[in-house]
Amino acid sequence: MNAVTNCVWMLLIAMLTLGVSSSVVAETIDGLKPDSQVAPTIVERFTPVDVRETPDFQKHVIPLMSRMGCNGRSCHGSFQGRGGFILSLFGYDFKADHAAITQGESPRVDIDSTEDSLIIAKPTDDNMHEGGQIYEVGSWEHRVLKNWIDAGAKFDEKQVALLDHLEVTPREIVFSAEAQTQPLTAVAVWADGSREDVTPLCRFTTNDDQVALIDREGIVTSHEPGDTHVVIAYDKAVVTVPVIRPVSEFTGDNYPEVPTPTKVDQLVVQKLRKLGMIPSELTTDEQFLRRVSLDIAGTLPTPSEVRTFLADSDPDKRSKKIDQLLETPAYVAKMTTLLCDLTGNNDQQLVNVSPMRVGPAQEWYDWIYDRVEKNMPYDQIAEGIILARSRLEGESYREYCEEMSDMYREGNSFADREYMTHYWARREFRQPEERAIAFAYAFMGVRIQCAQCHKHPFDVWSKNDFDEFKTFFSGARFANQPIRNDKAAFEEYQEILDKLDIDKKLRGNQQRREFAKKLKDGETVPFPELVVTPVRAANNGKKSRKERLAAARSPEARVLGEEAINLRDYEDAREPVMDWLRAKDNPYFARAIVNRVWATYFSAGIVNPTDDLSLGNPPSNEPLLAYLAAGFVANDYDLKWLHREIANSRTYQLSWIPNETNRFDSRNFSRAQPRRLPAEVAYDIIRQATADDRAMGTYLTNLNDRAIAIPGTRINGSASYPLQIFGRSERASNCDCDRSMEATLLQTVFLQNDFSLHSAIKANDSWLGEMEQTMQPKLNKQSTESQRLQAQITRLNQQLAKGRDAVQRLKKSGNKERLQEIRRKVTAGTVRLQKLRTQLASAQKKEAKQPVAEIAFDSPAEMVEEAYLRTLSRKPSEKEMTISLAHLKESGDPVNGLQDLMWALLNTKEFIVNH
């Protein structure tokens, strides 16, 4: 017990001895609790004129300059600085900032004449400072900077204070009306246990100024109903505070009873209750079936499936349908496409992967497809990519080449290999910086590219964090041949090359073509390989260039601010990253894939955008995301568990039709959001809806020519243009924005006018082509009087033409008797032709008053219903049926009428969106 504590306890004992009331003693004890030992704000301490305190450069001076905007993007924090003065953006680099302020040809401080220091003189002079007057002489800001300079403008970089955390109160703000205010208080808690109210030194922003505003003093002002977060940043800490203004009076005890059959529903409604937002009703069976079929399998239900589902009275039929869809090849293909998007399966980036002219993008796709089909745990799929290597433990280079040569020669699948090395072979994935950015995007759902140059504005990552993180990815290299310091492998490579007896001068594609020929002839050829170089301890002997590069790599690295890891303890520097991702408390790995899968069902993630899981972009429902992520891990990263948990929730099965409380909701999942379909799904369902009955019924199981099964980004044939305009992922950058879900004019033009769409409707092997062939005998049997007369006129015209030709020949032959006979027949035929034409005109006039479409089918209504079920997965309303039947009657040709109807249905919003 130290002296201070001893004195405190003696005082308390004395108070009790003297008869001081227990309540007073209790208040005294409360006043001595750690929470009460908070240093007042810098404003309170530096407002008095006689303040003698020396502010801390890290804790006070740099945050003050941030508050004043000095190190912002538009001022000295820009890359080129301003007026020859450059500060680190957002003040992340204390050492560099201290040097910029105190050193150089024109230092910003003058120890001998404090008031002449530029950081005081300029900001207090409106004429002198380009940015205008920032603070006044004699203000608390002035005294902070003055006292720091008076004390020598010091900063000890060896004693950088460590911020343990930032406490912000209140933790949640709930307003009840517009223009209400709520001040925030931010207390910095340092590693040494000291605490300080730093509210005036924080940076405050709002994620939605339509719901809440916040000023630089930390005062939040309510605006329109809704919910958002305000963001508080100080030193390395970023904290968000939810702000809610209910949209109705239905909150708390006034909230109605709402079914919450699953944990997902409970957590969603828990948030909706605070907002006064009531969820919509359950969607109809028709809409559910269409929605879930498109979301899980990218496929429309067939008309027979719709009828069967509607007739089924089993209360568990929705859950059973979900299970059924998850067992289809179409689900596997759609999920594989999502993972190919995330990992960047791009044909144009894959060069020199093998000597064979096979598609590496197809191999990449097949590798993932095989594992999704087996429902392999997601962490194991990720491990096969992240820790990929070409040669297995103990395998020689020759054995590796023999295995690969046999695989291609015998037509075995690349999916059978343990690792997916192509991820590391991409052309724009060779530098450690590129790998760090792409890896964080794919497996963590975060954007760390900002930290390449400066501290992330809304997260804790600094440039130093980025530099240490990229170290994990510097030891893997995709090489055309073994590295020279691997002498055994290099010698085996040379032996294989010598045995092939090809021109040693050949390089590049010419050499690979020769390798391909030799491979077909049964010989073993060299293969490129992914080489992993461990970090080794430095030695004084001779080193190759690769060894020198390995020695230059830092032996220590950190995973985005975590504890330092000694890379010399690992043969593969990527191993600790995989271990970190698998840790149960990892804040990114499980949450990232859970959030992305959720977004495929709701059009928006719980965190949105889905590739920005930063502290400054918090989830709209943190308990919901935490539950799903924890459950995903607890269920061994089972992707099907995740799909079932989401799709079986009442939240997913809500109607898109809004009520008065949720009509503006787009982030709290109180109703379904009508959303554009992914490009591959949009293209596939156009073809499926127009296909004949047999083809339509096989779309769940037959992936031939399915757009959701296209492996890479190179698309040939008629699918290329529609997939492009509907926004298929280009897989070109580290951003979910590579896929577009926006509606465009080109999409509308395509659906209305594109030749391929019209051809799909009218093709011989389409549904309508099949119908036309079936209907033709019946149409011939029931031909109209005008059709009969037209046929007679056609035949008579043909006979008259032959007769006139005969007259011309007979004139030349001189056979007058035969000539007269033919002339009499031609004359009689001409008279008959005129009579037939008169009869035809009369018949056409009569038939125009009596439409004949009703005789085209036994039941035209059945055909209309079939068209609706094929496209919109529902039966037409009474009004829709009346309009459709009227058009069929007016068209004159029942097939043309159905073609018009199909075209109209394909052009409805209801068809091209999922709802």
- DSSP assignment of 132-197 equals ---S-TTSHHHHHHHHHHHTT----GGGPPPEEEEEEESS-EE-SSTT-EEE-EEEEEETTS-EEE
> What number is the average pLDDT over the span 800-805?
80
According to the model, what pLDDT value does residue 623 have? 97
* Cα–Cα dist 415/420, whole Å: 8
Task: Tell me the range of 73-82, 534-543, 597-606, 804-813 where mean pLDDT is highest.
Answer: 597-606
Q: Which residue has the higher pLDDT, 852 or 579?
A: 579
Tokens of 77: 């924090």
According to the model, what pLDDT value does residue 477 have? 87
Average pLDDT, the chain: 85
DSSP state of 238: E
CA-nearest of 838, 883, 850 to 864 is 883
pLDDT at residue 544 tops 60: no
Q: Which residue has the higher pLDDT, 394 or 311?
A: 311
To the nearest whole percent, how much of the chain has pLDDT over 70?
Answer: 88
Residue 144 one-letter amino acid: V
- The residue to which tokens 């080449």 are assigned: 401
Q: Which residue has the higher pLDDT, 231 or 838?
A: 231
Q: C-alpha 506: how far from its chain's center?
A: 43
Tokens of 853: 């479409």
Instruction: Output phi, psi for 719, to 5 deg.
Output: -75, -20
According to the model, what pLDDT value does residue 34 have? 47
Q: How many residues does the chain have?
A: 915
* Cα–Cα dist 611/605, whole Å: 9
Task: Tell me the range of 144-148, 375-379, 470-474, 863-867 where mean pLDDT is highest.
Answer: 375-379
According to the model, what pLDDT value does residue 421 have? 93
> What number is the average pLDDT over the span 395-421?
90
According to the model, what pLDDT value does residue 831 have? 82
CA-nearest of 241, 609, 620, 621 to 447 is 609
Of 267-271, 424-428, 594-598, the poorest mean pLDDT is in: 424-428
According to the model, what pLDDT value does residue 17 have? 46
777-793: pLDDT as tens digits? 554 444 456 777 777 88
CA-nearest of 823, 792, 825 to 809 is 823
pLDDT at residue 814 tops 80: no
pLDDT at residue 146 tops 70: yes
Confidence class for position 551, pLDDT limits 50, 70, 90: very low
The three-class DSSP label of residue 107 is: coil
CA-nearest of 419, 352, 410 to 390 is 419
Q: C-alpha 585: how far from its chain's center?
A: 23
Q: Which residue has the higher pLDDT, 455 or 295?
A: 295
Confidence class for position 3, pLDDT limits 50, 70, 90: very low
CB neighbour class for 893 (10 Å; exposed up to 12, middle 13-18, buried from 19)? middle
What is the b/e burial string over 522-553, where b = at least 16 CB atoms within 10 angstroms of the residue's CB?
eebbbbbbbbbbebeeeeeeeeeeebeebeeb
Residue 624's contacts (CB-CB under 8 Å, 6 or more residues apart) are 264, 267, 268, 271, 606
> What number is the average pLDDT over the span 316-322?
98
> What number is the average pLDDT over the span 370-386?
97
Confidence class for position 455, pLDDT limits 50, 70, 90: low
Q: Which residue has the higher pLDDT, 853 or 764?
A: 764
According to the model, what pLDDT value does residue 456 have? 60
Q: Which residue has the higher pLDDT, 36 or 597?
A: 597
Task: Tell me the range of 234-238, 779-783, 906-910 where mean pLDDT is highest.
Answer: 906-910
Residue 716 one-letter amino acid: N
> What number is the average pLDDT over the span 708-731?
89
174-195: pLDDT as tens digits? 999 999 999 999 999 999 999 9
Instruction: Output phi, psi for 560, to 5 deg.
Output: 45, 60
According to the model, what pLDDT value does residue 156 have? 85
